[in-house]
Amino acid sequence: MENSQREAYVRQAQSIVETRSSPTLNAAVAELQRGIGGLLGATPPLRRDLSDGAILIGTPASSRVIAGIGLKLDGLGSDGFLIRSVNLSGNRVTVIAANDEVGVLYGTFAFLRQLQTHRLAETLNIRDVPASRLRMLDHWDNLDRTVERGYSGFSLWDWQKLPRWRDPRYTDYARANASIGINATVLTNVNADAQVLTPLYLAKVAALADVFRPYGIRVFLTARFSAPLELGGLKTADPVDPKVRAWWRAKSDEIYRIIPDFGGFLVKANSEGQPGPQDYARTHADGANMLAEALQPHGGTVIWRAFVYAAKPGEDRAKQAFDEFRPLDGSFRPNVMLQVKNGPIDFQPREPFHPLFGAMPRTPVVLEAQITKEYLGFATHLAFLGTMWEEVLKADTCRPKCGTPVADTIAGMAGVSNVGTDRNWTGSQFDQANWYAFGRLAWDHGLPAREAAEEWVRMTWGNDPKVVEPIVGMMMGSRQAVVNYMTPLGLHHLMATGHHYGPGPWVNNLERADWNPTYFHKAAKDGIGFDRTKSGSDAVAQYSPRVAGCFSNRRCVPDDYLLWFHHVGWDERMRSGRSLWGELAFRYDDGVSRVQEMRRTWRALQGEIDAERFNEVDAFLGIQEAEARWWRDASLAYFSNVSGRQLPEGVQPPA
């Protein structure tokens, strides 16, 4: 930073004024002191009185000055905040104000972000309110500390040492989350273990909740539907059985006695082998409502997942969640939310938006995204997901009318966490950006992915345009690179079995038909792609008529979703003028070229970045390039075989 700029910033951060101490306000003060001290080299003292250059933080209840200066706090809700430069008795003061203390904390982090990205204006006038009330991380952490689909070490939750040892990392986790607006965390895997609901574990959960509370983060747990059998010794978990209902009521009373602000339960039921109400011929609504009733007196919420595909064997897997849940709209209790994955299959590099968005007007819907990169190359492949989430948030549902993007249909966002015990938290330097961008987009659904990327780059790698521009560029193109070398043109679920790492489009022998890559690509002599139009599974009919009309129509459907919705002949012409086979080969090869380009861009930054992180990223990009080739070569070799077509000229032959 230039000296003159630094001095200007220092003049704006001379002291901090907090007039009532509380855990959350104290946390805000600590962040300001540490942040400003670290960034500007001068730690502002905490004062009770205002003077020039003070930062005054608080709520109308905590500060008489804030209550008295006519700030417009209505409409900010509990989480929104104002940051204003004001003149108070001749002193230039920055006010960070909110209705609730947690809003002050969010404002504090926003102020620090402006400072760290060198964008702090001399006169501040910021008003910010989150788009959704629920901004949640879902951990798929098991009680033995393994993490399902986790690529960054083990679970942060050290159950054995809890509750008495509170690892300082829990506080840092809470700080990091609060800094991006996350306000809820589900500690345990949706493939749930009932043990977490026992008194032994609940005491540990309560300790974590205590650490997170000042940072505005509420704790949720996953509830195994059969817990009344496993823990309660009952003979059934049937949701209409009075004993079962009483068991859940007592369990929730017990939880709230020790965690008064407990968030509630997240439930995966009747999906991939998990127990659920359908085991007793009841509906998802019966199950969710039973838990909702138990939580309701305490203000808790049931978040029920829509990721199911079991009910009608043989039905296109993409259709099943919609078919099961749409008829239930209106039958859930008010404290039930429905959590829907961004797309209808399963966190693929690209999917069209899930048809349930906009189709459940009487049910609060939470958009579930996967931050951990199960299908995008785990921790080593660089794939910035901000662009994926921006794409889904912007997608027009045309429900109830066109001009209604997914963002306007949701009541919250949940991200499957990529956080673990690795020293860098997320398994790679660049995967931190996905945690960051998730939080920022959950807060502001309209934030451009590029902006989230740039903020993160400035705060992580530096503010020099020499660094910012190339790295943002790499990030912005990275997800499309992965799409191209793994599953271009709307292909999906071609990953190797079980672990989902590396190519497996030839796999055709799995226990369930709808786990096989061949089920999804349907490549044969005549062509490739899943016909989901009327002549096929008719999954398109689940979208609004306008959207369905476009996806069904070869002239309207975007190339990106072509083979998701259509079975296309190998020689058919594409928009590019190439044949489908030529286009497929081109895209696979393009995916590899894009990774090579990222590598070159990164190499050119040598010397601008500390050697340790530079070398790690460089090595990871090397892995990504080798594996992009592997994907391209293996996939094209297989499809060339099935189609009986040679690789077009200009595309490198499989090694």
Point out which residues bind ligand GCW (CB under 6 A): 140, 148-149, 190-191, 268, 272, 307, 346-347, 374
Are 445 and 134 a contacting pair, CB within 8 Å? no
Q: What values do phi and psi take at 587, rounded to 5?
A: -65, -45
Nearest to 201 by CA among 172, 226, 221, 184: 221
Nearest to 346 by CA among 137, 495, 547: 495
Minimum CB–partner distance for residue 284 and ligand GCW (Å): 15
Catalytic residue status for 272 = yes
CB closer to ligand GCW out of 429 and 487: 487
Minimum CB–partner distance for residue 332 and ligand GCW (Å): 20
Longest dimension (CA), the chain: 82
Query: C-alpha 37: how far from its chain's center?
Result: 31
DSSP 8-state symbol, 314: T
Residue 245 token pair: 């209902």
The SS3 call for residue 483 is helix
CB closer to ligand GCW out of 148 and 315: 148
Nearest to 560 by CA among 416, 369, 392, 410: 392
Are 275 and 223 a contacting pair, CB within 8 Å? no
CB closer to ligand GCW out of 12 and 342: 342
Are 97 and 410 a contacting pair, CB within 8 Å? no
CB closer to ligand GCW out of 139 and 319: 139
State the Cα torsion 321-322-327-328 to the nearest 10°. 50
CB closer to ligand GCW out of 139 and 567: 139
Neighbours of 249 (CB within 10 A): 17
Minimum CB–partner distance for residue 272 and ligand GCW (Å): 6
Tokens 């009932």 appear where?
194
- How deeply is 438 buried, as exposed, middle or buried, from its count of CB atoms within 10 A (0-12, 13-18, 19+)? buried
Helices (H), 326-411: 386-394
Residues 6+ apart with CB under 8 A from 414: 134, 136, 137, 138, 186, 266, 303, 339, 366, 367, 368, 369
Residues 6+ apart with CB under 8 A from 512: none
CB closer to ligand GCW out of 147 and 328: 147
Check 346, 351, 583, 633 and give the catalytic one. 346
CB closer to ligand GCW out of 266 and 647: 266
Minimum CB–partner distance for residue 144 and ligand GCW (Å): 15
Minimum CB–partner distance for residue 303 and ligand GCW (Å): 13
Are 34 and 109 a contacting pair, CB within 8 Å? no
CB closer to ligand GCW out of 337 and 457: 337
Check 272, 469, 526, 571 and give the catalytic one. 272
Minimum CB–partner distance for residue 148 and ligand GCW (Å): 5
Q: Rounded to whole angstroms, how far apart are CA atoms 386 and 437?
A: 6
Query: C-alpha 456: how far from its chain's center?
Result: 16
Catalytic residue status for 374 = yes
Minimum CB–partner distance for residue 315 and ligand GCW (Å): 18
CB closer to ligand GCW out of 319 and 567: 319
CB closer to ligand GCW out of 31 and 141: 141
Q: Rounded to whole angstroms, how far apart are CA atoms 589 and 425?
A: 32
Query: C-alpha 627: how far from its chain's center?
Result: 25
Minimum CB–partner distance for residue 132 and ligand GCW (Å): 20
Measured from each CB, the residue nearest to ligand GCW is 346
DSSP 8-state symbol, 353: P
- How deeply is 288 buried, as exposed, middle or buried, from its count of CB atoms within 10 A (0-12, 13-18, 19+)? buried
Residues 6+ apart with CB under 8 A from 402: 396, 546
Nearest to 354 by CA among 290, 295, 399: 399
Check 374, 390, 391, 431 and give the catalytic one. 374
Nearest to 599 by CA among 575, 574, 578, 624: 624
Catalytic residue status for 633 = no
DSSP string, 30-84: HHHHHHHHHHHS-PPPEESS--TTEEEEE-TTT-HHHHHTT---TT-TTT-EEEE
Q: Rounded to whole angstroms, how far apart are CA atoms 483 and 481?
A: 5
Minimum CB–partner distance for residue 367 and ligand GCW (Å): 14
Minimum CB–partner distance for residue 500 and ligand GCW (Å): 7
Minimum CB–partner distance for residue 304 and ligand GCW (Å): 12
DSSP string, 82-100: EEEEEEETTEEEEEEE-SS
CB closer to ligand GCW out of 339 and 624: 339
Catalytic residues: 272, 346, 374
